[in-house]
Amino acid sequence: MTLRDDLRQAIADARDRAIADGVLVIPDGTTLPSIGLERPAKPEHGDWASNVAMQLAPVARAAPMRIAEAIAAAFGSQPSVLAVSVAPPGFLNIRLDPSWVAGQVGAIRDAGPSYGRGTAANPRRINVEFVSANPTGPLHVGNARGAFVGDVLSRVLTAVGHEVGREYYFNDFGTQVVNLGLSVLARRSGTDIPEDGYRGAYVDDLAAAAPDDVLARADASPDDAGRLVGAWATERVRAGIEDSLDRLGVRFDVWKEESTLHDEGWVGRAVDRLRASDHVYEADGATWFRSTAFGDDKDRVIFRSNGLPTYFASDIGYVTEKLSRGFDELIYIWGADHHGTVARVRNAAEAMGHDRAAVRMLLIAWVRFVRDGEEIPMSKRSGEFITLDEVLDEVGVDAARWFFSSRAFTTGIDFDLELAKKQSNENPVYYVQYAHARASSILRNAADVGLGPQAADTGKLLDHPAEQELVRHLLDFPDALAIAAERRETHEVPRYAYELASAFSAFYRDCKVLTEDRPLSEARLALVDATRSVLANGLDLLGISAPETM
* Binding to RNA, residues 124-183 (CB under 7 A): 134, 171, 173-176
Is residue 382 close enough to count as binding RNA by CB under 7 A? Answer: no
Nearer to RNA, 215 or 405 (CB): 405
**Element of type H or E holding 364:** strand 359-364
Helix then strand then coil, in percent of the chain rounded to 5, is: 55, 15, 30
Helix intervals (H) in 406-517: 417-423, 428-448, 458-461, 465-487, 492-510
Among positions 17, 124, 256, 304, the unique one binding RNA when judged by CB under 7 A: 304
User: Which of 129, 467, 489, 522 touches RNA (CB under 7 A)?
Assistant: 489
| 340 binds RNA, rule: CB under 7 A | yes
**Which of 459-494 are b and which e, b meaning 16 or more Cβ less than 10 Å from the residue's Cβ?**
bebbeeebbbbbbbbbbbbbbbbbbbbeebbbbbbb
Q: Which of 121, 208, 209, 336 binds RNA (CB under 7 A)?
A: 336
Nearest approach in angstroms of CB 504 to RNA is 9
- What's the closest the beta carbon of residue 323 comes to RNA, in angstroms? 22
Sign of CA dihedral 162, 165, 168, 170: negative
Q: How far is the CB of 442 from RNA (least distance, A)?
A: 5
Does residue 338 interact with RNA by CB under 7 A?
yes
CB-based burial label for 503 (10 Å; 0-12, 13-18, 19+):
buried
Between residue 402 and residue 461, which ones bind RNA under the rule CB under 7 A?
406-408, 410-414, 423, 425-426, 428, 430-431, 434, 437-438, 440-442, 445
Total of residues contacting RNA (CB under 7 A): 88
Our CB check for RNA shows the closer of 217 and 495 to be 495
Dihedral sign from CA coordinates of 69, 75, 77, 80: negative
Least gap, CB of 220 to RNA (angstroms): 27
549 binds RNA (CB under 7 A): yes
Q: Is the dihedral of CA 469, 503, 248, 149 positive or negative?
A: positive
User: Quick one: which of 9, 114, 191, 305 contacts RNA (CB under 7 A)?
Assistant: 305
Which residues between 58 and 117 bind RNA (CB under 7 A)? 58, 64, 87, 89-91, 93
Nearer of residues 115 and 508 to RNA, judged by Cβ: 508
Torsion sign (Cα): 325, 330, 333, 339: positive
Cβ atoms within 10 Å of 371's Cβ, excluding its own = 15
Within 8 A by CB and 6+ apart from 201, the residues are 383
The count of residues in the chain is 550
Binding to RNA in span 263-292, by CB under 7 A: 283-286
Find the binding residues for RNA in span 193-252 (CB under 7 A).
Answer: none
**Identity (one letter) of the amino acid at 63?**
A
Point out which span in 95-103, 155-163, 226-234, 295-303 binds RNA (CB under 7 A). 295-303
CB of residue 102 vs RNA: minimum separation in angstroms?
A: 17
- Are the CB atoms for 488 and 362 separated by under 8 Å? yes
